[in-house]
Amino acid sequence: MNAINPSLIITQRDAYAALPSVIFWLGVCFLLPIAALFGGMPYLLVGLAVVLAVVVYRRPQEAPGVGILYLFACNILLPHSARFDGVTTPWEMYYWAIGLLIVTISAVARIGLRQVFAVPRSARSFLLVAFAAAVYGQTHGAAFSYVSRQFYGVLMLIVYLGIAIHVGDEELLLRRIQVFGTLCTFCFVVYYVAVFPKYGFHKEIGFNGTEACLLSIVLFIQGMQRRKVSWILTGLALLLVPILFFMRGAVLTFIMTLPLAVALRVKSKKFKFFCWATSVLIALPAIFPPVAQMAMDEISKVPGMERFLPPGIQDSDTLFERVVQLGAAVATVQAHPLLGAGIGSDIEFDSPTMGARQVAFVDSGWAYLLQKMGVLGAVTFVWLLITIFGSLSEESIGFSACLLSAVIVTLFSQPVFFHFTTSPFMGAFAGLLLAAKHRHRISIGARSQVIGGPGFLSTLHKKFSYALMKAASSRLQKH
């Protein structure tokens, strides 16, 4: 029998590892410019999803990175039409959702449905409540399109949680963010330069700033911890997206995460308290409208700053609107305590800028949760957060700090855990934390077998008992 050359196996394995990069670069170099100039970007992205689905089926550990980076690329290369007015129908999101579904189905088929849903009980309970809220919303007049889309977001949260727990690779994900994050940032700068003559410094409505912020946090902090300059630089480059779009909440989230990451590492209680207090102070302008207004008033006093700030950025009406939405959601819970008005339902409130509104999408994440899933949804979601935060670790400090900041700040302004454009990010990051904690427990159990754990004591007891029995038997034979 001919022996297999190990070098050939390594070469084939390396080729599979490089396949996602090759596919992406080929698309950028040849197909992307053509689609950008002559149209067809939606079909290009769906085609890319099909190719990436093949990659994920061959290498399921790529699934968390492929899912979230595909969404980020969609937001950069095919931004939705409502980004300037918030009113135009964002038809592009259908293509984002279809592409994500193609990639996700491939991962689930490869890993196994039962394995993917082998997640903590809190996650399964939250998904069950979301399904009940979807049925409730559908049977009480909510449009099926909104019911399906909003339940899809919660489903992606749990699915990517399960995928990351079972096949996630933290190092691989960070490398993918570094490579494709740089590429997507370059594409964003090209887009911004192209529209700058028409719009100048301007603000856009979208998810790309939040997605870029989440990727920036994990890559920058992990790069600082591991002293990898390329990760640090890419993390800062990703932050250009929310900075150039004047997304106050995303930028403040990144800044407040830095002392938060230090707080997770230091041992001194006094210094830990100081870091937590600093994080809270930085987060205040992103949560409380009066503080935000004071900060923007001070910034506006800087000479020449008015030339750069787009119209409307000086006020805090968007934060006031989140507060109003939260109040309307609380009123809904008072009328429908258990499941709220159901997933897909409309919320009515008086917007500070647009007047009376009745819409199916809620900006505030906490208002979204209460409006769509009621008390049961809130309780099971908090249970899920407790499960996740029980896995915070110094080794995965980037993911730990990112999830904490998302709950403290981002969730106030966006349903980052519930909308399909960001929920896979949250699910993947949480799944990697839970998987790391599980591996740590196994490692401790293995060491206990060697250095004095229960298994070691049990073995000693058996050997000692056997020695006593043997000695007693020899004495009887002598007598």
Structure tokens at 137: 């919303």
Alpha helices in 390-452, H assignment, sequence order: 397-405, 411-413, 423-451
Taking each helix axis from N to C end, the angle separating 454-478 and 423-451, rounded to the nearest 10 degrees, works out to: 20
pLDDT at 16: 54
pLDDT at 457: 40
Structure tokens at 337: 């305590």
Specify the pTM: 0.85
pLDDT at 298: 59
Between CA 263 and CA 244 the distance in angstroms is 29
pLDDT at 126: 97
Q: Collapsing DSSP states into helix, strand and coil, what is residue 244?
A: helix
Q: Which amino acid is at 121?
A: R
Side-chain-side CA neighbours of 163 within 13 Å: the count stands at: 33
pLDDT at 356: 81
pLDDT at 290: 61
pLDDT at 232: 95
Give strand ranges (E) for 270-421. Answer: 347-351, 355-359
Instruction: State the residue for tokens 């088929």.
Output: 109
pLDDT at 88: 83
Q: pLDDT tens digits for the chain (479 residues)?
A: 444 444 444 455 555 555 555 655 565 666 777 777 777 889 889 998 998 999 999 999 999 999 999 999 999 999 888 888 777 888 999 999 999 999 999 999 999 999 999 999 999 999 999 999 999 999 999 999 999 999 999 999 999 999 999 999 999 999 999 999 998 999 999 999 999 998 888 888 889 999 999 999 999 999 999 999 999 999 999 999 999 988 888 998 999 999 999 998 888 888 999 999 999 888 888 776 666 666 665 566 566 666 666 665 555 667 778 888 889 999 999 999 999 999 999 988 887 777 788 888 888 999 999 999 999 999 999 999 999 998 888 788 999 999 999 999 999 889 999 999 999 999 999 999 999 877 656 555 545 444 444 444 444 344 444 454 454 445 434 44
pLDDT at 469: 45
pLDDT at 314: 55
Backbone angles phi, psi at 27, to 5 degrees: -65, -40
Q: Collapsing DSSP states into helix, strand and coil, what is residue 347?
A: strand
